[in-house]
Chains A and B, each alone.
Chain A
Amino acid sequence: MRVRLAWGLVSLIVCACTGSSDPTETGLGGGVLVSAAASLTDAFAEMESAFEDAHPDVDVVLNLGPSSGLREQILEGAPADVFASANSSNMGQLVEAGEVAGEPQIFARNLLQIAVPAGNPGGVAGLHDFAREELLIGLCAEDVPCGEFGREALAKAGVTAAIDTNEADVRALLTKIEEGELDAGLTYATDVASAGEAVEGIDIPENQNVVAEYPIAVLANAPNPQTAAAFVDFVLSAHGQAILTSYGFTAP
């Protein structure tokens, strides 16, 4: 119910914007509604202002939420222009339903990273340290995405972790690492980047890592397809990629 109400509002705003501003000579203008995965919140906020700086007649409106929820909104006919998903499966379902114009493109990857408190008091160097009994080790609970991927990575590395706590979500895990209560935990690189100075990230070798790929696409029923395509190009451009990298994402 709340989601639909929010949708009504968003569509109203988008319509108003589209109506009021005239397209410039480049043909770019009006409102672009970008439905993006929640983990893109900070990166896409900066993306929005950078794109609007380059194209003053464009107004980007971000609709952030879990990828699966955004997918449902689009399937129900929400007037979105662009979909940026945190995984391929949600995008795939839209492609199957004929909701996507052209091929989705991978614009970012998110790698698992070992998160340790500033200064790395436990002297953690890699996943093998997760087996050390004397360290306090935390993961996300098994059924939360970060817990699922973390266990996958440990299995790939052949490590039986001496786990001390299974936190309810990634935020709770990061807080305990920030406070120095845990010596190490497994989260995505973007989570480490968002935690600031109190947390350091240690890279995991590619062959032990679990990678999330983020696809982006213009939607088939986009009200403003030309500007939507320009936004997607911008995300894939060197400028857009630099923004994503600064938030912990890896280039595809």
Chain B
Amino acid sequence: MVVLGCLGLALFMLPFIGLLGRIPWTALPDLLGSEVVIDALRLSLVSSVSATVISLVLGIPLAWLLARVEFPGRSIVRGIVTLPLVLPPVVGGAALLFALGRRGLIGEPLGELTGLILPFSTWGVIVASTFVAMPFLVLTVEGALRNMDRRYEGVAATLGAKRWTVVRRVTLPMIAPSLVAGAVLTWARAFGEFGATITFAGNLQGRTQTLPLAVFVALESERDTAVAISLVMVLVSLAVLIALRDRWWRAL
């Protein structure tokens, strides 16, 4: 058991050790301070946090529907929600392009009405990230809603609490650990998102080039920059995961 466990750990650790071995330490400050890296970091933070917020706003009600409301085709809806987890992100990106692109099913009327064009814009990055990341939130929260003891809600209601009060004071606090865990997973997935973004939103520094895209482009020519950006991604991810460690463990 111990040997197999250590082997598993080694599989996680070795790539990072390989990465550390490639870091150009002396040139690092210059590389990290470069405009490309700073633009990409800013864009990655903005888009991943936005995607998480949108996922919370839309995902909690969706999870509630799936967990609490009996309706025909519920298992199909759950399947659709899970789909972005299974699909290669490039396929998701192409599907988004066909639906929300400038000539897309919904994208075309949307553009005519509002003038908003999603592809090649930061909004496109946020939509793509939300598409691939929201399932983590919906599935985590749905599981929590199913498993929680619903008698507390019933008691609150019999004591005269309005429906919204029950949700706010009883339901949400009870599922809070799962909510945080789901949000962290969602954020992490959005932060690392690559395939759907480059397919749907394109690749332009400062507008759609997030950290993963910057790494991909830099790997073609400037290996050192690619390694430096990868280091930034590892550090930011570790920082967030460690900061949320306690709640994280409690929920999982």
Q: Are B203 and A181 in contact (CB under 8 A)?
A: no
- Return the contact of A180 from the options B102, B198, B203, B208 (Cβ within 8 A): B102
Judged by a CB distance under 8 angstroms, whether A168 is at the interface is yes
Judged by a CB distance under 8 angstroms, whether A62 is at the interface is no
Q: Are A179 and B203 in contact (CB under 8 A)?
A: no
Q: Which residues of B contact A181 (CB under 8 A)?
A: 97, 101-103, 119-120
**7 intermolecular pairs with C-beta atoms under 8 Å apart:** A136-B119, A141-B203, A141-B217, A165-B202, A168-B198, A172-B198, A181-B103
A residues at B contact (CB < 8 Å): 136, 138, 141-144, 163-168, 172, 176, 179-182
Against A, the Cβ 8 Å flags (1 = close, 0 = not) of B198-240 are 1100111001100000001100110000000000000000000
Q: Complex: how many Å from CA A172 to CA B221?
A: 19
From DSSP, what is the main secondary structure of chain A's interface residues? Answer: loop
Q: Are A165 and B217 in contact (CB under 8 A)?
A: no
Q: Are A136 and B120 in contact (CB under 8 A)?
A: yes
Q: Which residues of B contact A142 (CB under 8 A)?
A: 217, 221
Using A136-B120, A143-B220, A180-B102 as known contacts, list a sample of 17 further A-B pairs with CB atoms less than 8 Å apart, ordered by residue number in A: A141-B203, A141-B217, A163-B204, A164-B120, A164-B202, A164-B204, A164-B207, A165-B202, A166-B202, A166-B204, A168-B198, A168-B216, A172-B199, A176-B119, A176-B202, A180-B101, A181-B97
Q: Which residues of A contact B119 (CB under 8 A)?
A: 136, 176, 181
Q: Complex: how many Å from CA A165 to CA B97?
A: 14
Q: Which residues of B contact A163 (CB under 8 A)?
A: 204
A178 to chain B, nearest CB (A): 10
Q: Are B220 and A141 in contact (CB under 8 A)?
A: yes
When C-beta atoms are compared, the residue in chain B nearest to A166 turns out to be: B203
Q: Complex: how many Å from CA A53 to CA B174?
A: 78
Against A, the Cβ 8 Å flags (1 = close, 0 = not) of B115-146 are 00101100000000000000000000000000
B49 to chain A, nearest CB (A): 23
Against A, the Cβ 8 Å flags (1 = close, 0 = not) of B179-192 are 00000000000000
When C-beta atoms are compared, the residue in chain B nearest to A183 turns out to be: B102
Most chain A CB inside 10 Å of its own CB: which residue of B98, B117, B216, B217: B217
Q: Which residues of A contact B103 (CB under 8 A)?
A: 179-181
Q: Which residues of A contact B216 (CB under 8 A)?
A: 168
Q: Which residues of A contact B101 (CB under 8 A)?
A: 179-181
B161 to chain A, nearest CB (A): 50
Q: Which residues of B contact A172 (CB under 8 A)?
A: 198-199
- Return the contact of B203 from the options A136, A143, A167, A182 (Cβ within 8 A): A167
Q: Are A179 and B97 in contact (CB under 8 A)?
A: yes
- Return the contact of A165 from the options B98, B204, B221 (Cβ within 8 A): B204
B202 to chain A, nearest CB (A): 3
Most chain B CB inside 10 Å of its own CB: which residue of A136, A168, A181: A181
B94-122 contacts to A, CB under 8 A, are 97-98, 101-103, 117, 119-120
B143 to chain A, nearest CB (A): 37
Q: Are A143 and B221 in contact (CB under 8 A)?
A: yes
When C-beta atoms are compared, the residue in chain B nearest to A180 turns out to be: B103
Q: Complex: how many Å from CA A142 to CA B97?
A: 24
Q: Complex: how many Å from CA A177 to CA B198?
A: 15
Q: Complex: how many Å from CA A164 to CA B118?
A: 12
Q: Which residues of B contact A179 (CB under 8 A)?
A: 97-98, 101, 103
Q: Complex: how many Å from CA A179 to CA B117?
A: 14
Q: Which residues of A contact B198 (CB under 8 A)?
A: 168, 172
B57-114 contacts to A, CB under 8 A, are 97-98, 101-103
Q: Are A166 and B217 in contact (CB under 8 A)?
A: yes
Q: Are A143 and B97 in contact (CB under 8 A)?
A: no
Q: Which residues of A contact B221 (CB under 8 A)?
A: 142-143
Most chain A CB inside 10 Å of its own CB: which residue of B98, B198, B202: B202
Q: Complex: how many Å from CA A144 to CA B98?
A: 26
Q: Are A136 and B102 in contact (CB under 8 A)?
A: yes
Q: Complex: how many Å from CA A142 to CA B218?
A: 10
When C-beta atoms are compared, the residue in chain A nearest to B102 turns out to be: A181
A30 to chain B, nearest CB (A): 42
Q: Which residues of B contact A165 (CB under 8 A)?
A: 120, 202-204, 208
A118 to chain B, nearest CB (A): 11
Q: Complex: how many Å from CA A81 to CA B217?
A: 37
Q: Which residues of B contact A167 (CB under 8 A)?
A: 202-203
Q: Are A143 and B208 in contact (CB under 8 A)?
A: no
A115 to chain B, nearest CB (A): 15
B195 to chain A, nearest CB (A): 11
Q: Which residues of A contact B98 (CB under 8 A)?
A: 179
Contacts A180-B102, A181-B101, A181-B119; A143 near B217 (Cβ below 8 A): yes
Q: Which residues of A contact B97 (CB under 8 A)?
A: 176, 179, 181
What 3 A-B pairs are tightest by C-beta distance, nearest first? A165-B202, A143-B220, A180-B103
